[in-house]
A and B are shown apart, each in its own frame.
Chain A
Amino acid sequence: MLGYHGACLVIDLTARSVRRDPLDERVLRRFIGGTGLGAYLLYKHCPPRVDPLAPGSPLIFAASPLVGSRLTTSSKFAVVAKSPLTGFIGDSLSSSFLATELKGTGHDALVVTGRSESPTLLSIDDGRVDFLDASDLMGLSTSETEAAVKALLGRRARVACIGPAGERLVRFASIGNDGGRQAGRTGPGAVMGSKNLKAVAVRGTNRVDVSDPEWLDHARRDLARRSLGPATEKYRTLGTVANVSVFNRLGALPSLNFRQSTFDGAGAVSGETLHESHHVKNAHCANCTIGCEQILATNDDLPRVSGRMEYESSFALGPLVGVADANAVIRAARLCDESGIDTISAGGTVSWAMECFERGILTEKDTGGLDLRFGNAEALTAALRMIVERRGLGDLLAEGSRRAASRVGGGSDAWAMHVKGLEMPGYEPRSLKTMALGLAVSTRGACHNRSSAYEADFSADVDRLKADARRGRITADGEDFSAVLDSLIWCKFLRKAFDDLYAESAAIYERVTGWPMTADGLRRAGERINNLKKLFNVREGWTRDDDTLPARVLEEPLPTGVARGVGLDREDLDVMIRSYYRARGWAEDGTIPAQKLRELGLEDVVESGKGVSSGAL
């Protein structure tokens, strides 16, 4: 087989058993790799309705056919599991050398099930698997864990690990790798922690052959050249933090727990300010020519802290919680990365608690004396530490905003800003109507990346302040496009460097695997993957009511900025959701007709999918 190894490694931590399962051509061509292959393996290996933190809940690392090709941005992998936040599919992407070493072990994916009796370091060196004692690693941060594992197994080992938050099953715990990169969203670190699995180290020497190496050499050079052109300029200069000042001006920057879409202190945490006053250097993932990562450092009188900064972190730990202090935001982001928690869910949950505090639903008695007001940077840091340690109020907040609101009551679910349990990213849905639909229907909850629906809103193609029935097709197409990116896997920041993503990627896929592929075939694969993700959710209990937005978004017009007075009522959202179901060819209640499954070649997956009745479809 070319481009793939045609196998996944299945490890049961309870039985300490290892087996190599074949992945045949039919599976690989239909689901490609990355999130697509991960979704297939999750559907296959996850017992229906299993508790995401139970031993039987699988944790999947999936590489892709392009890993090892040295095509720019292709050194990426997906982590897929049933999310402990949403109870639905959770998939996160990360990147760099871990992807190449994972594939170098001779497998396209790794499936981990069961639960080890004691803290474990899983070492996979080509075909050899060792279950090593990780007791000495417990309590270490992600960077400390990575360093300790490398000291033990050698510098070539690439490490995916959890920090203290994952060990304590914080529901939005992330998995770190390669010096600070994160599979951040949906809580895969909690799933890893529930297995008593502190770290996975991979080393491999198995390289895959490709069908047409000469052609790919040319394609590699051409794509590298294009990746340094105008299509990636923002990412190469200020990085994604450039969004802060633009979104603020457009009334699309959520602040103060989504009470506003502008922030008076935005200038202090804007990309321009961070670049001028805090920028240290740009960093690259392995095999990436873009180099989008902004390494920033504090510049105040406290001990210097440096780390990566993206827009989502700066939004969630800045405007969302009312903090207008760049040094505090940099410190909070570093704390999240080192402890192993998702910055978006962390900021979203703390901002929910801040609003509870301001409304008197939580008091200093509940917070342990913490003055948990919006804008209090010290309280933000303290709350994050309490979450990581599950100490005091932190034990509640470690459950995420949906569960915390359910326990606290007092109507606080009205300002728990999540979809399906996943906290909202930094895109104000009332002033970005296509994004609103994308957030409402996404299979992984409030996610901007799985549809990239914001693209339409930031263009002349639609009126971003008004809802209409065109948004269903736009969102469905965006989801399919994203599924292809996330399965091949290309970095999203490369997307505009392609003249025609589907046609060019199909040609590359052919030259890697030797299997015929067309633009339409790839587009169809994207649709198939999104339908499979939805099928998983249906199996796990999804209902039409899960496709919605927080009450605040649907009941309160925006009070400030250019979008002042703009809201989104339930009827308008419903119009868009129905248009989305129509675009997908789904039933009015959002379920997938059997005919659609046959059309996408998914009927055999469902038959082996344990517990899905034809009625549920």
Chain B
Amino acid sequence: MELFGRARLEAGRRQVTAAVPVRARAGDLAAALLESCPRLGGVAIREDGSGPLESYTFNLNGARFIGREDVMLESGDTLLLFSSQAGG
């Protein structure tokens, strides 16, 4: 997983490696990320790991934004976590 913005600054690193289910939802990704990097709790991930905070979003391989639907993952996929506030 690649981190951007405040998430990167708080985590102190650009990337985090996490094991996630092949068929996953945003909540699964958030839980895995929180386990690998607890400092993101309350910063970018909900404290209970149930999903990203509403100010953050997941993107798969820089191509597809992950909404409410399940996403099928493959080994080597990269998940990006960045602010959901576009623009500026």
Partner-B contacts on A (CB < 8 A): 230-235, 237-243, 245-246, 249-251, 271-272, 275-276, 310-312, 448, 452, 454-455, 457-461, 465, 492-493, 496, 561-562
Contacts and interface: CB of A to CB of B under 8 A. Distances in A.
A493 B85 CA distance: 9
A492 B62 contact: no
Contact of B88 (A239, A272, A457): A239
Contacts of A239: 88
A235 B63 contact: no
B35 interface: no
A272 B9 CA distance: 7
A271 B5 contact: yes
Given A272-B9, A454-B87, A458-B65, 13 more contacts: A231-B54, A232-B85, A233-B55, A233-B83, A238-B6, A242-B4, A242-B88, A243-B88, A310-B88, A452-B87, A455-B87, A493-B88, A496-B85
B88 A230 contact: no
B36 interface: no
B85 A235 contact: yes
A240 B88 contact: yes
B5 A246 contact: yes
Contact of A275 (B9, B67, B68, B84): B9
Interface of B: 2, 4-6, 8-9, 53-55, 57, 59, 61-69, 80, 82-88
B4 A465 contact: no
B66 A465 contact: no
A250 B80 CA distance: 10
Contacts of A242: 4-6, 82-83, 88
A242 B65 CA distance: 18
Nearest to B6: A237
Contacts of B64: 460
B5 A458 contact: no
Contacts of A251: 62
Nearest to B63: A562
A245 B61 CA distance: 14
Contact of A455 (B9, B82, B86): B86
Given A239-B88, A460-B65, A562-B61, A249 B80 contact: yes
Closest 4 CB pairs of A and B: A240-B88, A460-B67, A458-B86, A230-B55
Nearest to B53: A230
A249 B83 CA distance: 13
Given A231-B55, A460-B65, A562-B62, A245 B87 contact: no
A234 B83 contact: yes
Main secondary structure of the interface of A (DSSP, over half): helix
Contacts of A452: 87
A459 B85 CA distance: 10
A164 to B, nearest CB: 28
B53 to A, nearest CB: 5
Contacts of B84: 458
Contacts of B88: 234-235, 239-243, 310-312, 493
Contacts of A496: 85
Nearest to A492: B87
Nearest to B66: A460
Nearest to A243: B88
A461 B71 CA distance: 15
A272 B53 contact: no
B82 A246 contact: yes
Contacts of A238: 5-6, 9
Nearest to B5: A242
Nearest to A236: B6
Contacts of A312: 88
A237 B62 contact: no
Given A231-B55, A242-B83, A455-B87, A237 B5 contact: yes
A493 B82 CA distance: 17
B4 A240 contact: no
A310 B88 CA distance: 7
Contact of B86 (A230, A310, A454, A460): A454
A272 B68 CA distance: 29
B40 to A, nearest CB: 13
Contacts of A457: 86
A243 B57 CA distance: 14
Contact of A245 (B4, B55, B63): B4
Contact of A246 (B4, B61, B68): B4
8 contacts: A231-B55, A234-B5, A234-B83, A245-B4, A272-B9, A455-B86, A458-B86, A561-B62
A496 B68 CA distance: 19
A613 B8 CA distance: 58
Contact of A250 (B53, B55, B59, B85): B59
Contacts of A271: 5
A231 B85 contact: yes
A190 B84 CA distance: 37
A455 B88 CA distance: 11
Contacts of B67: 459-461
B57 to A, nearest CB: 8
Of B4, B83, B88, most A-chain CB atoms within 10 Å: B88
A107 to B, nearest CB: 32
Contacts of A454: 86-87
Contacts of B5: 234, 237-238, 242, 245-246, 271-272
B15 to A, nearest CB: 12
A585 B63 CA distance: 33
Contacts of B57: 458-459
